Amino acid sequence: MNEIKTLYVIICGGVGAMFSAIASYFGGWDSSLATLVIFMAVDYITGLLVAAVFHKSPKTATGTLESRAGWKGLCRKGVTFLIVLVACRLDIVAGTTFLRDTVIVAFLVNESLSIIENAGLMGIPIPEVIINAVDTLKNKSESHYSDEDDILYEEDMEE
């Protein structure tokens, strides 16, 4: 029984050290990064529910669950983390925390909007206070940009 406890402690310590090292590359594990991870998970889960249970997914022709759409969503989430990583590393070089924080807030707004959209597709009414909070975050994120023409939007990239 002692060997199992020892193995458990070693595994937990190794996993903790690994996640600690990864978090350090993203500027540390703080409330903004934790919130982004939570929002991304909630968005993915609500997206799965919209497709699997409600059959109203705008991501597929039939509105139902398709593995290709799910994988594309996971890839997007992965690239989101890569962009946060790039912003964090640029901040380190520049000696600031502006880029990382702004990028995380921008992605939080995006995830919030997607969660609200998914809830709407499920027929859940969205409280006005949530919509106002997302608008406030969106305005905060946009106020950090000096020229909105520098922002790439998804529809611009499809052309």
Q: What is the mean pLDDT of residues 8-18?
A: 93
Residues 81-98 have a mean pLDDT of 95
Residue 159 has pLDDT above 70, yes or no: no
* % of the chain exceeding 70 in pLDDT: 89
Q: Give the pLDDT score at 135.
A: 82
C-alpha span between 84 and 86 (Å, rounded): 5
CA pair distance 64, 120, nearest whole angstrom: 16
For residue 155, the model assigns a pLDDT of 53
Taking the C-alpha atoms of residue 65 and residue 69, their distance in angstroms, rounded to an integer, is 8
User: Each residue of 127-155: pLDDT tens digit?
Assistant: 999 888 888 877 876 776 544 445 555 55
Encoded amino acid at 23, one letter? A
Side-chain-side CA neighbours of 93 within 13 Å: the count stands at: 7
